[in-house]
Amino acid sequence: MDSRLSTKDKILELLKKEKSMTVSQLSKRLGITEMAVRKHLNMLERDSLLTVSEVKQPMGRPLQVFALSSKADELFPKNYENMTVEFLHDLKELHGEDIIDYLLEKRSERQKNSYLPNMHGKTAAEKIEKLTEIQNGKGYMADVTKIDDDTYEIVEHNCPIFAVAKKFKKACACETEMFKKVLGADQVERMTCRADNGDHCRFFVKFNKKKSLNV
């Protein structure tokens, strides 16, 4: 085990490898007292990183067994993005660029159909706010600024599909077009893009006053 890790990280690493452990087992592996182990476990449990179960013993009190929660599992490295990019490259080699465009367009269509029910009966301002809320729920860290009555700016500070967008710019075009359809806007233009080395993705959105309410 890496000696540079904090005690908390060492506990997380041990539970990842062993799946579940008791206080006594953790104490022996870490070389610290059970009281110290419990202190760290309490903090991890408070942060919703652990699950605790009890195992009945032939005699005495049930034994507490600690394991990682699904939230804790998210702390460990994943390589989903790179795998997705590799799959897309393989598909491109086998079937050409058109298959990539088709898949990204299908994804965009699914998103549009998922987002649209949230927009019915809303004003332009309400649609923009709702879209930003949905995007934030997906990890885009989006902000919206009102420029005038019919014009807005959306800034996304994070891109959860950055690895894909960097290699396949069609993903960015699909998102821009999806925004336009979902918002019912006259114009949605991507002004800057992280996939093109921008600091963030910035969108200019303009509505026609007569279309600002979409029932």
Per-residue tens of pLDDT for the chain, all 215 residues = 556 789 999 999 999 999 999 999 999 999 999 999 999 999 999 999 999 999 998 888 899 999 999 999 888 877 788 899 999 999 999 999 999 999 999 999 999 999 999 999 999 999 999 999 999 999 999 999 999 989 999 999 999 999 999 999 999 999 999 999 999 999 999 999 999 999 999 999 999 876 555 54
How far apart CA 12 and CA 32 sit, in angstroms, is 15
Domains along the sequence of the chain with CATH:
7-73 (1.10.10.10), 80-211 (3.30.1380.20)
How far apart CA 211 and CA 124 sit, in angstroms, is 8
User: How many CB atoms are closer than 10 A to CB 125?
Assistant: 15
48: left (phi over 0), alpha (psi -120 to 50) or beta: left
Structure tokens at 56: 């009945």
61 in Cβ contact with 23 (< 8 Å): no
The angle formed by the CA atoms of residues 211, 213 and 215, to the nearest 5 degrees, is 115
**β-strand partners of 53:** 65
